[in-house]
Amino acid sequence: MEKNRVLAIDQGTTGTTCLVVEFGVNGAVVLGKGYAEFPQHFPRPGWVEHDLTEIWDSTLDAVGAVLVSTNTPGEAIAAVGITNQRETTGVWDTKGRPLHNAIVWQDRRTADLCAELTAAGHAEMIRSRTGLVIDPYFTGTKIAWLLDNVPMLRQRASKGDVRFGTIDTWLVWKLTGGVYVTDATNASRTLLFDIRRNAWDDELCGIVGQVPRQALPEVAGSSEVYGKTKGMGVLPDGIPIAGIAGDQQAALFGQACFEPGMAKCTYGTGAFALVNIGGKPRVSESGLLTTIAWRINGINTYAIEGSAFIAGAVVQWLRDGLELFAESGEVEALAAQVPDSGGVTFVPALTGLGAPHWRPDARGIICGLTRGTKRAHIARAALEGIAFQISDLLEAMRRDSGSAISQLRVDGGACANEMLMQFQADLLGIEIHRPRVLETTALGAAYLAALAIGMFADLQDIASAWNLEKSYAPTMTQEAVTAKLAEWHQAVAKA
């Protein structure tokens, strides 16, 4: 049986998606998708947890569903690639038994510990070694909390009986029957990993929470064989697990952004933008993050990352809060009823402003209302507000990366909005490229696995398989763009 199919497992915050991707003369073709949700657990305000067993069960369900829907026998799968919600942290024993619910990336229970680390003067050192800011978002302080609050956990960890890991580590453990590994992209999100030395940092482990080194997994590359399936049932034994990357890095890889200056933006509830900065890390001067984009054949590629808290969520608010329309997909038609925003500027700071402004106290604001303002003007201004935020991010990335950004490749649900994509191109003054395959996160994991087993010769081979669906070229004059940006920054100052 010809093995030209790769199974991609995309383990997300609310569910697990699995794709079967076939590689051939037509490039990458997604044959089908399986999806399974799992419960969210909120034991206290600000706390978010996942049950590791429920995550694994959802993975088995999603794998089974996609194999059936694509009529793919397990023996036809050449390799498995994994991408995952990144900073979510699990803990289990050496027999694979979970010892506590996983603490999710959204969880804020370690805010006090983060404040203590900052007050103690560790922020600059942590940032220089990890590329990250001190925040409950990241893995390290979650591990510290577990060590201090789960009975006997610290004692067991010191004896080597405890395994900490992000969700990629948990899935590889379960898929292989006990291989204990993560990849460099996920390790780089922990506050415990030196992204220059490519190693767990003993000093950081001590500062963040006296984390025992033996309780952390081996750090491998992003494209290599970590182990093989064993005892799954839904898949036969012996299939190589061959690719791992955190979700945003996987999307950058799936978009074939292999050259410095190439960037991608994922437009979801929020928006994540990453730009490839090549083989040397740079510490951001704009409050953005420096992260490992991927590690292949022992060589790191780095990226600068920034996020906007609110993207598609502002459309949901127009739908549910203001009730301007019944379905989110109606926003474009409503906005198209007017030729422009009529002087209205919408700053969608519904949960504060992220990079590069970093104003958690900011609140949403709609400026420029007149008696002539219609629903359509507000809808159009909301879409423009999403694009303005990404424009600010990309401008900060240009400064931090030290190089021009040649193009922006887009994915996520909101990139189907033609008006938003055109306005984004106008603001940035570069082309926006939307690929034929929009599941770029899972596709990146599939590419990494396929590369590891020789289905692709190199990155250029993968780049040639990337297929463009539509591009958007700038059409606004520079004077018009400058005027719009001035209105935006005036509104941001008032938010």
Residues 154-183: what's their mean pLDDT? 95
Inform me whether the pLDDT recorded for 25 exceeds 90. no
- 3-state SS class at 5: strand
Query: What are phi and psi for residue 300, nearest 5 degrees?
Result: -85, 140
Tokens in use for 422? 């055109």
Tokens in use for 464? 């040639």
Cα gap 112→115, rounded to integer Å: 5
Half-sphere exposure for 86 (CA within 13 Å, toward CB): 23
pLDDT at position 411? 92
Nearest to 348 by CA among 377, 386, 374: 386
Q: In terms of DSSP bridges, do strands 223-228 and 262-267 run parallel, antiparallel, or are they unpaired? A: unpaired
In sign, the C-alpha dihedral spanning 482, 487, 490, 494 is negative
Residues found in the chain: 495
* Cα first-last separation, the chain: 61
Half-sphere exposure for 69 (CA within 13 Å, toward CB): 16
Residues 262-275: what's their mean pLDDT? 90
Tokens in use for 462? 């993968």
Inform me whether the pLDDT recorded for 187 exceeds 70. yes
pLDDT at position 106? 84
DSSP 266-328: EESSSEEEEEEEETS----SSS-EEEEEEEETTEEEEEEEEEES-SHHHHHHHHHTS---SSG
More confident residue, 174 or 413: 174
Q: Largest Cα–Cα distance of the chain, in whole Å? A: 71
Inform me whether the pLDDT recorded for 1 exceeds 70. no
CB 182 within 8 A of CB 292: no
Query: What are phi and psi for residue 318, nearest 5 degrees?
Result: -60, -35
pTM: predicted TM-score of the whole model, two decimal places: 0.91
Residues 222-234: what's their mean pLDDT? 94
Half-sphere exposure for 352 (CA within 13 Å, toward CB): 9
Cα gap 181→172, rounded to integer Å: 7
CB 205 within 8 A of CB 191: no
Cα gap 15→395, rounded to integer Å: 33
Q: What are the structural domains, with CATH classification, of the chain?
A: 5-247 (3.30.420.40), 256-495 (3.30.420.40)
pLDDT digits (tens, 9 = 90+) for 78-95: 999 999 999 999 999 999
In sign, the C-alpha dihedral spanning 183, 251, 253, 227 is positive
The single residue listed with the structure tokens 């395994």 is 163
Instruction: Identify the burial level of 39 via C-beta atoms within 10 angstroms of its C-beta, where 0-12 means exposed, 13-18 middle and 19 or more buried.
Output: exposed
pLDDT digits (tens, 9 = 90+) for 88-129: 999 999 999 999 999 998 888 898 999 999 999 999 999 999
Taking phi over 0 as left and psi of -120 to 50 as alpha, with beta for the rest, 270 belongs to: beta
pLDDT at position 33? 94
Instruction: Identify the burial level of 152 via C-beta atoms within 10 angstroms of its C-beta, where 0-12 means exposed, 13-18 middle and 19 or more buried.
Output: exposed
Beta-ladder partners of 42: none
pLDDT at position 2? 67
Tokens in use for 51? 């049950």
Residue 440 CA, chain-centre distance (Å), reads 11
Residues 289-313: what's their mean pLDDT? 92
